[in-house]
Amino acid sequence: MRILIDTYATAFQNKAGGVHNRIVRTVEALRSAGLTVDYFDKYNTNVADYDILHVFMLNIESYGLMKLAKAMGKKIVVSSIVTLSGKLRLSFYWHIRKLPFMTTYKILFRIGELADCIIAETPREARFIHQYYHVASDKIRIIPNGADEIKSDSRKIYELLGKECEYALEVGRFDQNKNQLNVIKALKNTDVDVVFIGGESPSEKDYYRKCLATAGNAPNLHFLGWVDSQDELLKSAYGNAKLLISSSFYETFGLTIVEGVMAGLVPVVSKTLPILDFEVFRGCLTFDPKSVKDIESKVRLAMKTKADAELKAKAQKVFSWQGVAARHIELYGSL
């Protein structure tokens, strides 16, 4: 099989790189399994040379390419990567879709019809796509994002902190949805050390500055800024942390949670996240992301909780890149 990959134009411009990292790692895993996988280049690629067009993210930028592929008899797979919000808006545009004018949502609904399969990362995302994009259930497959087990004996993180201590780790760009501000308010000037990895979002620079200003000179809050995914410092931060905080109001998946669990950390996460639909995460400590008191309470409890080796083993089995690649190959073959 020959697989052609496409996505929206700015996917590889985001420094946080959630979508682009998912694409790169998926392609690497598929190539390692023996498939021919190429990225679409509008100047050089001939769609006729491929069997399947796989589009990452339900977006209107790929609509023209999808129509061309469909006209050529190619199979189309879309990894949806949708935010689970805007229900009223989606319902409104679905009801007016037959009116004689074009909308972005009308194109998105047409993409749902064009696709031979839609991949959702979680059961909750699959239900959302079925209900609000009106994609037939038998066209939806659940394939989670993959993750690597992070191993490190490096003490580099302690060198940066200037001390050895138990600490909580939160990884991700700073924006209002990621909700680091409430974590800062909850734990500022407490006896719980918190390491934040990630920098400002290009569209929400003021939020990062507000977080730093709120933290002030609190000695227990440590801001490391952006750290490259291959940097030994990131591995050291995961390898020595006690627990992983994910405070977002919503996520399409929640990769840092998987990475944290596979690194042997205790997960403490927002109760709103769809990754909790997976059986492996049903027992996680959860908090109300709007409640500063609840965040502090659950983080303190997690600091006293021993990491679950069985949880780590289950996560490794479900979210390994080899397993994710195998599920993609099975899907491609069925088409």
**How confident is the model over 134-185, as pLDDT tens digits?**
999 999 999 999 988 888 889 999 999 999 999 999 999 999 999 999 999 9
Which residues does 289 contact at the CB level (< 8 Å), separation at least 6? 179, 182, 247, 248, 249, 270, 271, 272, 295
Q: Do domains 2-146+320-334 and 156-318 have the same CATH topology?
A: yes
Structure tokens at 161: 């902190």
pLDDT, position 16 = 57
pLDDT band at 17 (very low <50, low <70, confident <90, very high): low
Q: Running DSSP on this structure, what letter comes out for residue 47?
A: G
**Whole-angstrom distance, CA of residue 236 vs CA of residue 196:** 13
Looking at residue 255, its pLDDT comes to 87
Per-residue pLDDT tens over the stretch 235-248: 999 999 999 999 99
pLDDT at residue number 12: 87
Phi, psi of 7 (to 5 degrees): -155, -175
Cα–Cα distance measured from residue 51 to residue 72, given in angstroms and rounded to the nearest whole number: 10
Distances (CA, A) of 290 to 6, 103, 110, 287: 37, 34, 36, 9
Q: Is the pLDDT of residue 60 over 90?
A: yes
- Give 256-270 pLDDT, tens digit per residue: 999 999 999 999 999
Answer whether residue 14 shows pLDDT above 70: no
Say which residues have a Cβ less than 8 Å from residue 81's Cβ, sequence separation at least 6: 19, 22, 56, 57, 58, 121, 252
Residue 326: other Cβ atoms inside 10 A: 15
Architecture of domain 156-318 in this structure: 3-Layer(aba) Sandwich (3.40)
DSSP state of 148: P
What are the structural domain ranges in the chain?
Answer: 2-146+320-334, 156-318
pLDDT tens by residue, 29-40: 999 999 999 999
3-state secondary structure of 104: helix
CA 250 to chain centre: 10
* Per-residue model confidence as pLDDT tens digits over 211-237: 999 999 999 999 999 998 889 999 999
On whether the CB atoms of residues 268 and 291 are closer than 8 A, the answer is no
* Mean pLDDT rounded to a whole number for the chain: 93
Neighbours of 268 (CB within 10 A): 27
Fold of 2-146+320-334: Rossmann fold (3.40.50)
Question: Residue 65 pLDDT > 90, yes or no?
Answer: yes
Share of the chain above pLDDT 90, in %: 80
- SS3 assignment for 232-249: HHHHHHHHHCCEEEECCC
Rounded to two decimals, the pTM is 0.82
* Mean pLDDT score, 276-285: 88
Find out whether 323 and 146 touch, Cβ atoms under 8 Å.
yes
pLDDT in tens, 285-321: 999 999 999 999 999 999 999 988 899 999 988 899 9
